[in-house]
Structure 1
Amino acid sequence: MLSKRISIQWPPQEAGENTSTMVIYSKEGHFVDVRIFLENYPVIEENPTSKFDDIFEWAMVGDEISLESTIPDTYKLQFTHEIDSLAIMKAINENLPLDQCLTEADVGTFWKTDTEDRKETGNMTNPATGKKEDYVEIWRSVSSVQHTPENEVREPADEEVTPLYVLRIDTDEFHGQMIRSGNWIQGILHDKKNSKVPLNVIRCYVKDSKWEYLINYSNFKFPVDFDGAKGDSITIDNVKWTCIE
C-alpha cells in the first residue's frame, strides 16, 4: 500500500510541497515514511558524504493505530515513531541522549474531499521550526503494482498487492524496517554507533524486471531481493533482518 503526499500547509501559510514524501504501509499497519527535499531527489550516495539533514526533511518508521473519532464522516489514526530522524539528528547535533529527544506519537484526523485524495489535519512537529504546529496534508493512494515515477496510477479499490512483507531488525547496534509493497520498497536503518551516517535510507521500484533506486543513501545493502515468509531471516552486510509480516 502506497501513499504519496500532494501538499502540506502550516496555517496561516499557503499550502505547498518541497519534498517527495511517500509512505509504504503493510496490512498490519507497519509503515516506512520518507520525506526527501525535491532539490536532492533522486539521490544515490553509497557511503554517503552529504549530511542527512541537508538531503532529507524527515524519515520515520512506526505503526498506524486506529482511534475513535468523534467527528462525523472522519477517521482518526495514531502514528508511532519507532525510528524518528528528527529525534536522532537532534540527539547527535546537540549531544543529548536520544530518550530526551523523542516526541509523542502523531494523531491525524482524515476527512473526505471533493476528489479521491484524503485530507489529514492534526498537530505535529514542523521540521523547519522544531515546534509542534497545526497542519493540513493532502494524500493520494497510488498503485503499488502499476504506479511509476513517470506514470501516476491511483490505487484501485480491489488491488491485490503481492509480494507484501515487512523486514525488521532491533538490536543494540541497529534498528530498522523495510517494507515491500508490490513493485515498491522503502527502508530505513538506524546505525546507532555511527554518528556520521546514523541513518540509511532506500526507495526503489521495479523497472524492466530490475530494482531502480530513487533513493540509495546508505552504507549498507538492504535485502531487496528477499524471497521468504513470516519468521524467515536474511543477513546482508552483517545485518540480520527478520520477516515479521
Structure 2
Amino acid sequence: MGSLSFRKFIRWLPDEAGEPTSTLVLTSPEKRFVDVRVLLPDGKDSLADDEEILPLSRLDWAMAGFSSSTVMSDGHSLSQWKHWIDSRAVDAPPDEGHMYAQPDGLSTLEKGHMTNPATGKDTEYEEMWYDPPAKKTGGDKVVCVVLVMEDEKAGKKGMFVRVGEWAQVVVRDGDGEEDVVAERWEWRDDGKGWRRIVRLGDGERELPCREVLLDGKKSEYRVGDEVWKVVEDVEV
C-alpha cells in the first residue's frame, strides 16, 4: 500500500518549531517517492486557490527516488531516501532519519541531522508528519500509479507518483537549479474530480499528469519526444 505524508512542522534545534512550506510526500507500494515542498506566503498556513502557477523561487525543495526502512531494536525505524532527482543538486547524497510512531496512530516524528539551508551548518532537526489513509477516487479501491522517464543523452529524468486522491511529479532537464519542474494534483469529490493544485518551473514544459489522471490506463505515455513508462499500477 502506498502512503501520504503531510509535514506539520520542522524544528531546527534549539529553535522553535514552524512550518514555512506546503509539503507532501507520496510513496508507492514499491517505495518510490515524490516529495514536493512549496514555500508559503508570509503569514499563511496553506496555498491559496489563486496560486496554481508559481515561479520556481517558491519551490523550497523537490525530490524523487527510492526509500527504505529498517526497524531498530527499540521499535522505531531508520528510514533512508535516495534522491534520483533533487532540485538542489544533480548528484545529491541520500538522507536518513529516525522515525517514531506517535500515539494517535497517524503521525510520525522524524529526528536526524542535515544542512540547515538558512545557516549552511549541519544541524539536528525534528519533523512531524501526518500520514492519513489514502482515499478512493470514484471507484471501490485506492489506486497507486508510478511513471518514470529517463533520457540519459539529453540529461532528462522524471518521476510521477499517484497515491489515492493525490499525485505529484518532478522533472530535472539539465544541471541547473532552474532546470526543474514540479506539479501537485488533487482529486476532490465535488463533481469536478482532478485539478492541478500548483505548478512550479518552466510553464511551457509538457508533463504527463493530465493524461494519466484523466484518460485511463496505458503501459506508457508519450509527452513530446519523451516516453513515460508505467512501472507500478495497483489497486488496493
**TM-score, length-normalised on structure 2?**
0.80
Deviation per residue, 1:76-110 (Å, 9 max, x gap): 111111111111xxxxxxxxxx4xxx342111111
The answer to whether 1:44 aligns with 2:46 is no
Q: 2:127 aligns with which of 127, 137, 148?
A: 137
Aligned to 2:37: 35
The answer to whether 1:113 aligns with 2:102 is yes
1:143 positional shift: 3.2
The two structures, once aligned, show a CA RMSD in angstroms of: 2.3
User: Structure 1: which 5+ runs fail to align?
Assistant: 88-97, 148-159
Instruction: Check conservation: 1:178, 1:185, Cα contact below 8 A.
Output: yes
Q: 1:242 aligns with which of 224, 229, 236?
A: 229
Looking at structure 1, the residues matched to 71 and 164 of structure 2 have their Cα atoms a distance apart, in angstroms, of 30
Q: 1:61 aligns with which of 31, 50, 64?
A: 64
Aligned to 1:2: 4
Distance change in 2, residues 1:118/1:161 (3 Å): farther
The answer to whether 1:167 aligns with 2:170 is no
- Which deviates the most, 31-40 or 195-204? 195-204
Distance change in 2, residues 1:115/1:178 (3 Å): same
1:73 positional shift: 2.2
Looking at structure 1, the residues matched to 41 and 186 of structure 2 have their Cα atoms a distance apart, in angstroms, of 20
Aligned to 1:190: 172
Identity of aligned residues (%): 29
Instruction: Check conservation: 1:204, 1:211, Cα contact below 8 A.
Output: yes
User: Structure 2: which 5+ runs fail to align?
Assistant: none
Which structure has more strand as a fraction of its residues? 2
- Which deviates the most, 124-133 or 178-187? 124-133
**TM-score, length-normalised on structure 1?**
0.78
Looking at structure 1, the residues matched to 32 and 196 of structure 2 have their Cα atoms a distance apart, in angstroms, of 22
Alignment: residue pair count: 211
Instruction: Check conservation: 1:161, 1:181, Cα contact below 8 A.
Output: no
1:233 positional shift: 1.2
Looking at structure 1, the residues matched to 110 and 227 of structure 2 have their Cα atoms a distance apart, in angstroms, of 36
1:162 positional shift: 2.7
Amino acid at match of 1:203: R
Looking at structure 2, the residues matched to 168 and 135 of structure 1 have their Cα atoms a distance apart, in angstroms, of 31
Amino acid at match of 1:44: E
1:68 positional shift: 4.7
- Which deviates the most, 110-119 or 25-34? 110-119
Aligned to 1:90: none
Distance change in 2, residues 1:238/1:81 (3 Å): same
Looking at structure 2, the residues matched to 63 and 111 of structure 1 have their Cα atoms a distance apart, in angstroms, of 20
Amino acid at match of 1:241: W
1:180 positional shift: 1.0
Looking at structure 1, the residues matched to 205 and 224 of structure 2 have their Cα atoms a distance apart, in angstroms, of 6
Looking at structure 1, the residues matched to 32 and 64 of structure 2 have their Cα atoms a distance apart, in angstroms, of 8
Distance change in 2, residues 1:142/1:220 (3 Å): farther
Distance change in 2, residues 1:200/1:63 (3 Å): same
Looking at structure 2, the residues matched to 22 and 196 of structure 1 have their Cα atoms a distance apart, in angstroms, of 20
1:111 positional shift: 1.2
1:178 positional shift: 0.4
Instruction: Check conservation: 1:175, 1:192, Cα contact below 8 A.
Output: no
